[in-house]
Amino acid sequence: MSSDKIQIETRLDLPDLGSGHDLRRILSSALKSHTALQPAGESLLQAFWPAAHFNLDRVAVYRDAPEEERELILKECSCDTLEEAYYIEKCGIYFASKMCLLSESVQERMLYSLFGADETVHFSWISRYVSTEAAADFIHNPFIELLDDLLRDQDKITLTYVIQVILEGWGISHYRALSKDCNDAGLVEVFDHIIKDEARHHSSGLVLFNERRLSHDQIESLVEVLSRLFLMVRVGPQSIVSKVERVRGHLSRAQKIKIFQEMECEQETAGKLQTLKSLIRSAGYAEPIFDALDRAGAFKPFSAAECAAVSV
Ligand SMILES: [Fe+2]
Ligand SMILES: [Fe+2]
């Protein structure tokens, strides 16, 4: 029996218990014993970030839209942002449980159990700002589907590297940007708490990864997974453009190219890829991983025309 791999479905679509179920009361009391922070999260469909956060302030077709359409685009972009966080935190609970079972020392197992509790608290906070019914479709988001596959299928060392070193490291800067621009004090507090926990999750991943010896095949496998992940970044802000199109009506290829150009997608994406490059450089095996990704073109942002070509 393999000790570095467990295959079990992630079941990100597990059903919620009914609102009056007795387990909910016990869960709520358990959550309260883990955190004093109880964000209100009353308003679900709200524009929590300004146009500038999504670079929409640079886009003419957005600026020229009637006020209610601009408001709707911002609300939908906010929804997407929170639904993505909702699934990421949900994945975090599964990840910590799996890593707890795969642990190779008592302290490692203790740490992953505590991280599981952190992720559960994160998920409970974010859930207050997300409608479970509305979020159901986000399970088909390509990034969440990829994450789901990785969590289910990959071995321990790949998960440590990809999830903790790269994605939780990336999560710190992502949540920092969300906190900086967010206009809701409760949500800002949530992000600031999450950032502190994610820093711990990330740094333990670095310790665990850096003490391992990797074979050539294992490095190749990491590179293959990262190439798939980085492609999601390289294609630019697709979901924002799709929200503009949904609200404003059909956009031609030329209009989409113009929007991606106005959003300066290439420079923006290059900045994000820079963060990913520095995460690779901060961990072991940086050189072979970096060089293989570079050779495969995995650090190359799509041009505005390429972004528009893959936009659906
Ligand atoms: Fe988390
Ligand atoms: Fe985490």
Ligand number nearest CA of 115 is 2
Ligand number nearest CA of 89 is 1
Contact 233, 276 (CB under 8 A): yes
Query: Whole-angstrom Cα distance, residue 126 to residue 119?
Result: 10
What is the model's pTM? 0.96
Q: Which residues are close to ligand 1, an ion, with C-beta < 5 A?
A: 89, 92, 119, 122
* CA of 118 relative to ligand 1 center, distance in Å: 7
Least confident of 31-40, 147-156, 257-266, 300-309: 31-40
Query: Whole-angstrom Cα distance, residue 54 to residue 241?
Result: 10
pLDDT score, position 1 = 64
* CA of 198 relative to ligand 1 center, distance in Å: 6
User: Terminus-to-terminus CA distance in the chain, angstroms?
Assistant: 44
Query: Which pair of structure tokens corresponds to residue 107?
Result: 């302290």
* CA of 165 relative to ligand 2 center, distance in Å: 10
Domains: count for the chain = 1
* CA of 210 relative to ligand 2 center, distance in Å: 18
24 part of a folded domain: no
Average pLDDT over residues 4-23: 94
Residue 306 belongs to what domain range? 54-310
Residues 90-118 have pLDDT tens digits of 999 999 999 999 999 999 999 999 999 99
11 part of a folded domain: no
Q: Could you tell me the CATH number of the domain that includes residue 249?
A: 1.20.1260.10
Residues 212-247 have pLDDT tens digits of 999 999 999 999 999 999 999 999 999 999 999 999
133 part of a folded domain: yes
pLDDT score, position 45 = 78
195 part of a folded domain: yes
* CA of 271 relative to ligand 1 center, distance in Å: 23
5 part of a folded domain: no
Average pLDDT over residues 272-298: 97
The one-letter code for the residue type at 280 is I
